[in-house]
Each structure stands twice: as C-alpha cells, then as structure tokens.
C-alpha cells in the first residue's frame, strides 16, 4: 500500500474516527487515501480552527485529537493550536504534508521547516525520512501524545513518502514503566499532611488529564481538606463540596486567595505554580510547607521548592495519602471566609450583568454539557460563576490564553460528544478570530450554542488600560463590530440579541431548547470589569475590588 494509505490505517488502528483538517498540495495523497475510508474528516475553514477543534475534541473526550494540514502556510497556521495544546498538556497528533525529500531545503513552493518551527511548541516532533519509518513513527507519535504528561506531537510527512509503497506491519511498542513511588516519599508526604493544622489542596489540570478525578474526590472525602482549583482544575471538585473555594489566582475568588495565603501546608496536585495563579511568587502561601504531586518531574521545584515532592501517576499516589485529619477549626475558618466573600448577584439596574447570567446558565444546563470559552473577561466570568461536573466539561485556553479558541474547540467537543449540550461562550473580540468556523457548524449541522457576550471592547485589555495605563484606551474599541445575528444568519444559524436583564431567562431557554445551532448575542455595558483582580507583581492577598457603576 501507499504511505498515505498506511497513515489512515494507523489512525483506524488507534480508534481515531474523527480528524479535523484542511487539504493542500503536499498532503493530497493522504486526503486521497482518506476518501471513502472509515476515518471521518471534518473540514474546518482555517488550519488554526482545525487545530483547536482537535484540542476541543481531546479535552472533551479524553482521547487524542488529530488534525491535518498541508506544508508551508497550512503547517504554520497549526502552530498556535499546537502551542495551546502544549501549555495545557492536551494530547494531539498533528500530521502535516511536506514537500518531497528531494526538494527539501531548496525553498520549494510551500516549503517551510515545520520541524524546526515545532521544536518550541510541541512535546515532540518528527519528520519522516523514509517510508520505512512512517508506520513506527506514527505509532510512536500516538504513544507520546497520550503518555506521561500529555501533549501535542507533530509528524511531518514528505509527499514522496506518502506515495511510496510499503508493506504495512504494526510495530510493537515497549510499554514505559510508570514512575515508581518510594515508600519513604509516601511516608514523608503522610507525615506532612498529618502535622498540618491548616492544609489546603491546590488542584490543577493534571488531575483531569491523569484521570484521577475519582481518587481526588475520595481523598477530599477522607481528609476533609479545604481546596481550591486553577482555571484548568475546575470541575475536578464538585460545586458544593465542603471547604471548596473555587478558583484561585489573579481572578480567583477572594476567599480562595486569602485561605491559600493563610495555610500551613499547600498540597499541590497536578499544578505548576503558574504566575497567574501565584501572583508574586515570593509571597504566595508564605507560611506553607509544600507537598507537590505531578507526573512531570521537571515541574517539581521549578518555581517553588517543595518540602516533599512525588513524581508519579496521581491515580496511584492519592489513595495512599488518605487519612482522617483533625482540622475542624481550620475548616470552620475556611467556611467563614467563604460566607464572608460569596458572590453577590443582586446587581442594580436594568442592564445584563454577565456573572448573574452565567450563573443562571450553569443552573439550566443539562448534566451532559460542555462549556467552551474564548479568552477575555467572559472567560474569567465563566470560571468564577459557572460550575462544572467534570474537568472535561470546561474547555478554556488556560496556559496560552488564545483568543479564537472557543468556537472551534466547541466544534471538536460536539463531535466528541454528539449528545451533549455544547455552549461556546465567547466575546466580541475573540469570536472574530475564528468566525469562519461558523461554516463548519453549518456543514456538519452541529447543534453548538453560541453565547456571545458583547461589550464592543477588547474587554480585558481595556480593563488593564483603565487600571494601569491611565485610561489611555489604545486600540481596544471594537464598536465597529458587525451585526452578529445577521452574520450568523448568513451561515444559516438563527439567533437574537438581548439588551435587558429581564430578557435573560427566556433567551437562555430559547437558546438551550433550540434544535440546532443558535447564537445568543448579549449586549452588555463596557463599564463592567472582572473582580477581584490581583494586580501584576502583587501578592494574592492584595486583591483589587471595585463595584461597577450601576446604570
């Protein structure tokens, strides 16, 4: 068979039934092999959209996402999505066509050194040098993408390799040993936990990626330890769990940040001390000893030296750390903090208050739902005010903060979970970054719901200009936005615009009960900001709070 046929056969062997991509000259043999095959392809309208759809697919399903692009501009358009997958540890295999080996290095048409470009934005990358390497390389790529700390892997395949003949033989891959946990490390960790009077769990995205949600929940039940989560960790701990304070960090809840600053043991699980989480690192949880658990040994001691660190599968470690704790006074203190700083949704005036609307949306969503966010103020409001049953129900570009993520990620999520209610919450700035993917929704007849929160501003940047740049609003006015409902209509997606708080309930119902895709365009006042906010360089205990002006 041809190399191109072998590519499709490897995908099928890995249970890949959905691929996102865009064809072009150097990947035409693979697209030819795809034609009529058992692997379903979703044509996106930009390679970045295809990359994010693969990310969304992976995050919503726990499987590896796959995307295709051609050489040159096709491959470079994938780069942002790969970087996003790297920073959020998402398993993705990207397959790019490359010009034939005989002309590589001659500046041939649509030739770019994508292997070189990918070095900094993938977990690993390959260029297949000969057809004999092709099948083993693809198997290795799938193994690498999903094993250990997951991430994106790129396989660049020259066109002559795609058309060369081979005898297909599935390789045998050695199964890597899981990192062994020393009993002494477990003993040291247990001793730290047992000695703590004010322990706090700091839960990151690694818990969901490791499939350790159940183990984490059992650990919390056994210890009663109070907890906070990062943006990517949301969903790991159910809303309403005693002592759970929601998100910490720059836009975290006040109770979450204050409690972490107060704790005497910070138990970090699948998280990495991101600067958006810690604020000024030197004063983050200043009195706490640190117990750090992660699959990636390189994260241990990278930013904060732990007192005890264990590099291992969380599924294996967490059950060994369960114990009852005598921390009732601390739990009471945490509950008091939570009560003192609970969100207030009684916003005066007739305008739509986005946090209140998102809380309503959370309450109305069916159990099997996915919320895919874009990046900006709306993203933080979602993180603060919605609640999620599982990490895979909340897709957000956390590490890279990529505008344009939300819509294509929702497409991937809907393909992965066709029966789920998928809502893409976007902002007017982000939405325009990958708006062409409305065509993908139309083509696939996907029932994606789009909640577009529009303040006619690049809101988060504007907020920073207001607070830290003397209200010099440089290039953040987006009031020349298109008519979004008319735009959606051009893609045969129905929708409506709402302006007043009294319209919210009925409009959310209409959106969620509509049969197909739907765009709910929500006009909000540009004066609304995201609070609280830890200013850059400040400690997490120094949160800015400000009430928006009532109108």
Partner 1 sequence: MNHNLEVTMDQRPEVVERVLRVVRHRGFTLTNMNMRLVDESVYLSLSVSSERGIELLSNQLTKLVDVTGCHVMQPAMPQSASA
Cα torsion angle, 249, 252, 258, 259, sign = negative
**Helices and strands (H and E) in the chain: how many:** 22, 18
Tokens of 218: 């059992």
| Catalytic residue check, 129 | no
Alpha-carbon distance 61 to 444, whole Å?
A: 19
**Catalytic residue selected from 110, 333, 466, 491:** 110
| Catalytic residue check, 528 | no
- Of the pair 5, 88, the CB lying nearest partner 1 is at 88
Residue ranges that bind partner 1, judged by CB under 8 A: 115-116, 119-120, 123-124, 127, 129, 144, 296-298, 301-302
Beta bridge partners of 394: 371
- Of the pair 160, 299, the CB lying nearest partner 1 is at 299
How near is the Cβ of 306 to partner 1 at its closest, in Å? Answer: 13
Say how many C-beta atoms besides its own lie within 10 A of residue 339's C-beta: 9
- Of the pair 106, 346, the CB lying nearest partner 1 is at 106
**Catalytic residue selected from 9, 123, 159, 289:** 159
Tokens of 483: 């008519």
Tokens of 247: 């998100």
- Of the pair 102, 477, the CB lying nearest partner 1 is at 102
Tokens of 89: 């540890």
Tokens of 279: 């604020």
Residue 174 DSSP one-character state: P
How near is the Cβ of 113 to partner 1 at its closest, in Å? Answer: 9
Cα torsion angle, 113, 116, 122, 127, sign = positive
- Of the pair 177, 471, the CB lying nearest partner 1 is at 177
How near is the Cβ of 518 to partner 1 at its closest, in Å? Answer: 43
How near is the Cβ of 126 to partner 1 at its closest, in Å? Answer: 8
How near is the Cβ of 460 to partner 1 at its closest, in Å? Answer: 27
- Of the pair 154, 507, the CB lying nearest partner 1 is at 154
How near is the Cβ of 376 to partner 1 at its closest, in Å? Answer: 27
- Of the pair 305, 477, the CB lying nearest partner 1 is at 305
- Of the pair 297, 331, the CB lying nearest partner 1 is at 297
**Catalytic residue selected from 1, 38, 40, 109:** 109
How near is the Cβ of 99 to partner 1 at its closest, in Å? Answer: 16
Contact between 20 and 68 under an 8 Å Cβ cutoff? The reply is yes
Alpha-carbon distance 286 to 345, whole Å?
A: 32
Instruction: Give the DSSP letter string of 498-550.
Output: E-BGGGHHHHHHHHHH-SS-EEEEEE--TT----SB--TT-BTT--B--PPPP
How near is the Cβ of 308 to partner 1 at its closest, in Å? Answer: 16
Residue 392 DSSP one-character state: G
Instruction: Give the DSSP letter string of 124-157.
Output: EEEE--SHHHHHHHHHHHHHHHHSSS--EEEEEE
| Catalytic residue check, 460 | yes
Cα angle: 381, vertex 385, 390; to 5 degrees: 110
How near is the Cβ of 295 to partner 1 at its closest, in Å? Answer: 11
Judged on CB neighbours under 10 Å (0-12, 13-18, 19+), 330 is buried
**Catalytic residue selected from 117, 267, 380, 460:** 460
Alpha-carbon distance 383 to 340, whole Å?
A: 20
Residue 493, CB half-sphere, CA atoms under 13 Å: how many? 29
- Of the pair 119, 544, the CB lying nearest partner 1 is at 119
Nearest by Cα to 47 from 99, 92, 113: 92
Say how many C-beta atoms besides its own lie within 10 A of residue 190's C-beta: 16
Alpha-carbon distance 248 to 256, whole Å?
A: 5
Nearest by Cα to 4 from 24, 30, 41: 30
Owner of token pair 């660049």: 156
Cα torsion angle, 175, 207, 361, 481, sign = negative
- Whole-number Cα distances in Å, 179 to 63, 270, 294: 22, 15, 11
- Of the pair 8, 300, the CB lying nearest partner 1 is at 300
How near is the Cβ of 144 to partner 1 at its closest, in Å? Answer: 6
Which residues neighbour 547 within 8 Å (Cβ) at sequence distance 6 or greater?
Answer: none
Active-site annotation, residues: 47, 109-110, 159, 460
């Amino acid at each position: 068979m041809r190399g191109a046929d072998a590519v499709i056969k490897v995908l099928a062997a890995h249970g890949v039934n959905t691929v996102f991509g865009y064809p072009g000259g150097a990947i035409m043999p693979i697209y030819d092999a795809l034609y009529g095959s058992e692997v379903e392809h979703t044509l996106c309208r930009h390679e970045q959209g295809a990359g994010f759809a693969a990310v969304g697919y992976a995050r919503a399903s726990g499987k590896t996402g796959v995307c295709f692009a051609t050489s040159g501009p096709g491959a470079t358009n994938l780069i942002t999505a790969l970087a996003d997958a790297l920073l959020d540890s998402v398993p993705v295999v990207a397959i790019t066509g490359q010009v034939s080996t005989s002309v590589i290095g001659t500046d041939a048409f649509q030739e770019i050194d994508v292997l070189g470009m990918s070095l900094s934005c993938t977990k690993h990358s390959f260029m297949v040098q000969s057809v004999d390497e092709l099948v083993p390389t693809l198997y290795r790529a799938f193994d690498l993408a999903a094993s250990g700390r997951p991430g994106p892997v790129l396989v660049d395949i020259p066109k002559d390799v795609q058309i060369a003949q081979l005898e297909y033989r599935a390789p045998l891959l050695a199964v890597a040993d899981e990192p062994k946990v020393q009993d002494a490390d477990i003993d040291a960790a247990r001793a730290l936990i047992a000695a703590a009077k004010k322990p706090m769990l700091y839960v990151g995205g690694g818990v969901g990626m490791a499939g350790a949600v159940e183990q984490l929940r059992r650990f919390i039940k056994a210890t009663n330890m109070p907890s906070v989560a990062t943006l990517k960790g949301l969903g790991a701990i159910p809303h309403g769990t005693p002592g759970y304070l929601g998100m910490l960090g720059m836009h975290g809840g006040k109770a979450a940040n204050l409690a972490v600053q107060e704790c005497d043991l910070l138990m970090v699980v699948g998280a990495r001390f991101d600067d958006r989480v810690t604020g000024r690192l030197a004063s983050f949880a200043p009195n706490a000893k640190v117990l750090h658990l992660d699959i990636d040994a390189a994260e241990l001691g990278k930013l904060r030296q732990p007192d005890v660190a264990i590099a291992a599968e969380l599924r294996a470690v967490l059950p060994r750390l369960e114990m009852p704790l005598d921390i009732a006074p601390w739990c009471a203190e945490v509950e008091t903090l939570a009560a003192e700083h609970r969100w207030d949704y009684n916003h005066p005036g007739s305008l739509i208050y986005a946090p209140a609307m998102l809380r309503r949306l959370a309450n109305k969503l069916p159990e099997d739902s996915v919320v895919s966010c874009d990046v900006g103020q709306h993203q933080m409001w979602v993180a603060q005010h919605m609640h999620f049953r599982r990490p895979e129900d909340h897709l957000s570009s956390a590490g890279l903060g990529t505008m344009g993520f939300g819509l294509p990620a929702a497409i991937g999520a809907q393909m992965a979970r066709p029966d789920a209610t998928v809502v893409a919450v976007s902002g007017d700035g982000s939405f325009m970054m990958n708006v062409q993917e409305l065509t993908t929704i139309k083509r696939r007849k996907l029932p994606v719901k789009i909640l577009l929160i529009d303040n006619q501003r690049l809101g988060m940047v504007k907020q920073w200009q207001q607070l830290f740049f003397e209200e010099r609003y440089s290039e953040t006015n987006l009031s020349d936005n298109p008519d979004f409902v008319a735009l959606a209509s051009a893609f045969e997606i129905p929708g409506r615009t709402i302006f007043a708080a009294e319209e919210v309930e009925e409009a959310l119902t209409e959106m969620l009960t509509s049969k197909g895709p739907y765009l709910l365009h929500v006009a909000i006042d540009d004066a609304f900001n995201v609070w609280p906010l830890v200013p850059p360089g400040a400690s997490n205990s120094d949160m800015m709070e400000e009430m928006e002006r009532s109108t």
